[in-house]
Amino acid sequence: MTSVPEPTNPVPGAAGGFSPERADPPAPGAPPPQLVRSPLSDGEWHRLHPLTPLLRGGLFLIVIIGIVFANLRDRLVFIFLPWLAPDIEEEVGEWEGAGGDPIDFIIANNLYVVAGLTVLAVLIVLVAVFYTSWRFHTFRITDDDVEVRSGILFRTQRRAPLDRVQGVNLTRPMVARLLGMAKLEVVGAGADANVKLEYLSTANAEAVRADILRLASGRRLAATAHPAGPRPSGRVAALSQTVGREITGLIEGPEAPVAELESVVHIPLGRLVASHVLSMSTLGLLFAIAAIVVGVSQGVTWLLFGFVPAIIGFGAYWVRSIVRSLRYAIAPTPDGVRITFGLFTTITEIVPPGRVHAVEVTQPILWRPAGWWTVRINRLTGRSAADGSTDQFTTTLPVGTAADVERVLRLLQPSLPDEERALVVREGMFGPAEGDTFTNTPKRAWWIRPLSYRRNGFRLTDDVLLMRRGVVWRKLVILPLARLQSFGLYQGPLDRASGVTNVRAHVVTGPVSPFLAAVDRDTALALFDDVAHGSVRAASADRTHRWAQDETDAAADVEEPPTVPAETGEERG
């Protein structure tokens, strides 16, 4: 049998696709559960969840209700709660005479039927428009790509090739979460290149995500046992059950699908708050307070007025960034790293292997006594640069100890050997250590990096280039050579006088900028050649665009060589 979910399956996580049995070897004969696609990804066109228009138009609806309510507040109070407003009657009397209000006009002229019909007509038109747009908004998942069609008058069609998928994220805003729905975003390579499926029921979204990742990985999926599942009977009952479950989940903490996988890092709330308090912006705030106190004591009292909004803004910023990092979890899955965060709006993102273009481990000096670090990555988020939410998708560890960093690195760079990872921590993060293996800035160029010249260096291995720099802000950049786009040397007149040069690796845009100043000139020229060869070699050996294809082929060769279904798109991959 299959683990295919019903659209409103009341069992949480049954469709997660990450259940332990996925690790089982494929049984001969019947297709194993991990290779069976859900009915939503059978290559046919499917519609989104019927409640989608409600959620997408939700804000609009709330605004309308708000306006109506604000305008009719007095009247509503008078109609429904007359005892609260005994003296409102005289005012109502005034309205009747004045005739300025459209509702008074209707009451005065006895136009109830016309008004009722108008409202009804508007409602019908709205419902019809929403219904049609829902009918026209369809998606399909084939072996090679994800496609979405939408629009009534202006049709749009968007297709994302699966071997270029940079990640799949599942966002569950508060309201949608209560209704058991989620929106799915397939991250493509390029600005504004994402394909969005909003909204699906959580179970379906999980199933679709698992399918997309499995198809993208190059594994072959068998057709589902029953293409059309039986329609669910009590939709309303199921919905109320969903709401109840979600509220429980909200109170009790992480919902079931997240709890399935043990996060390798746990951030205590205290550390999260303290890490925000111990930041440069706090120093700025203290400085501002000091300046204002001095100013006020000198008699410049108007400074106080600027102070209040600053405090409010600061508090809001803190709360927002702390809430965003709450319930952070990072866990390995067969199809990449799974990162979860957010308290009210939960975002779960799976980044397949080989989609990380640069990793940076940073420690500001204020965090040094506590031994905390943060990890950021460069990756293609498919968002425009102006989008403010990008940093959510690039911070993979908001705050953690060195051991946490090591565990996160294991997930982000699985190809890095263990001893190399230990070296990254010992020398790269804390270095320079005894018997340092990094190539550092030569002594004669100390004046270019007066504080950090002992630490400022690089190390090149077969697969990665490490760049270590900074004493006040300790930084370590890890660059997988297979993802390096190009490599540059830059030398100005002062560098030339000291016989050094600057080194910059070019990777996709992101918070990490892989740059190293004051590298010895001869070493840098040797590095230039080594990196050029290394990156070509690493890139041609790289198979991560179809990360599981090799292992599938191997498994197929071992177990059932002749019966491999040949029609499932292997040659098209």
Partner 1 sequence: MTNSPVPATPDSNPASATTDADASFERIVEPRSENRLALEGGVWHQISPKYVTVQLISTGSFLVLVIAATLVLTLLMHQLWAWIPGGILTVILAWTLAILPRQARSIGYQLRDDDLVFRRGILWQRFVAVPYGRMQLIDITHGPLDRGFGIAQLKFVTAAAATGVVIPGLAQTTAETLRDHLVEVAESRRTGL
Q: Is 383 in the site for partner 1 (CB under 8 A)?
A: no
H or E segment at 332?
strand 329-333
Give residues 124-163 in contact with partner 1 (rule: CB under 8 A): 163
Q: Is 381 in the site for partner 1 (CB under 8 A)?
A: no
Instruction: Name the nearest CA neighbour of 148 among 110, 200, 103, 189.
Output: 200
Q: Can you tell me which of 501, 516, 518, 556 binds partner 1, judged by CB under 8 A?
A: 501
Q: Can you tell me which of 158, 164, 410, 454 binds partner 1, judged by CB under 8 A?
A: 164
For partner 1, the closer CB: 230 or 492: 492
Q: From the CB of 548, what's the least distance to partner 1, in Å?
A: 15
Instruction: Name the nearest CA neighbour of 352 among 189, 502, 553, 573.
Output: 189
Instruction: Indicate the DSSP class of residue 36.
Output: B
For partner 1, the closer CB: 228 or 385: 385
Q: Is 380 in the site for partner 1 (CB under 8 A)?
A: yes
Q: From the CB of 269, what's the least distance to partner 1, in Å?
A: 37
Q: Is 537 in the site for partner 1 (CB under 8 A)?
A: yes
Instruction: Name the nearest CA neighbour of 429 among 419, 421, 439.
Output: 421
Q: Is 572 in the site for partner 1 (CB under 8 A)?
A: no
Q: Can you tell me which of 353, 354, 364, 428 binds partner 1, judged by CB under 8 A?
A: 354
Q: Can you tell me which of 229, 232, 470, 499 binds partner 1, judged by CB under 8 A?
A: 499
Q: Is 496 exposed, middle or buried (0-12, 13-18, 19+ CB in 10 A)?
A: exposed
What string of H, E and C letters represents the secondary structure of 193-243? CCEEEEEEEHHHHHHHHHHHHHHHCCCCCECCCCCCCCCCCCHHHHHHHHH
Binding pattern for the stretch 423-462 against partner 1, x by CB under 8 A and - elsewhere: ----------------------------------------
3-class secondary structure, 113? helix
Q: In this structure, are residues 426 and 407 in contact, taking their beta carbons and an 8 Å threshold?
A: no
Cα dist from 28 to 31, 33, 283, 508, 563, whole Å: 7, 12, 64, 43, 10
For partner 1, the closer CB: 140 or 164: 164
Segment interacting with partner 1, rule: CB under 8 A, options 110-118, 243-251, 417-425, 486-494? 486-494
Q: From the CB of 165, what's the least distance to partner 1, in Å?
A: 11
Give residues 502-531 in contact with partner 1 (rule: CB under 8 A): 504, 506-509, 521, 524-525, 528, 531
Q: Cα–Cα distance between 339 and 515 in angstroms, integer? A: 27
For partner 1, the closer CB: 266 or 533: 533
Structure-token pair, residue 78: 């008078």
Q: In this structure, are residues 332 and 408 in contact, taking their beta carbons and an 8 Å threshold?
A: no
Interhelix angle 88-98/102-109, rounded to 10 degrees, is 80
Segment interacting with partner 1, rule: CB under 8 A, options 135-143, 148-156, 395-403, 484-492? 484-492
Q: Is 496 in the site for partner 1 (CB under 8 A)?
A: yes
Residues 6+ apart with CB under 8 A from 518: 441, 442, 445, 448, 449, 453, 456, 495, 498, 500, 502
Backbone angles phi, psi at 476, to 5 degrees: -135, 125
Q: Is 535 in the site for partner 1 (CB under 8 A)?
A: yes
DSSP per-residue string spanning 439-470 = EEPPGGGTTTSTTTTTT-EEEE-SSEEEEEE-
For partner 1, the closer CB: 166 or 333: 166
Taken in order 69, 182, 509, 324, the sign of the CA dihedral is positive
For partner 1, the closer CB: 6 or 520: 520
Q: From the CB of 409, what's the least distance to partner 1, in Å?
A: 21
For partner 1, the closer CB: 174 or 525: 525
Q: Is 540 in the site for partner 1 (CB under 8 A)?
A: yes
Segment interacting with partner 1, rule: CB under 8 A, options 217-225, 392-400, 461-469, 494-502? 494-502
Q: Can you tell me which of 106, 489, 555, 564 binds partner 1, judged by CB under 8 A?
A: 489
Q: Is 491 in the site for partner 1 (CB under 8 A)?
A: yes
Where do contacts with partner 1 occur on this chain (CB under 8 A)? 163-164, 189, 354, 380, 482-483, 485-493, 496-499, 501, 504, 506-509, 521, 524-525, 528, 531-533, 535-537, 539-540, 542, 544-545
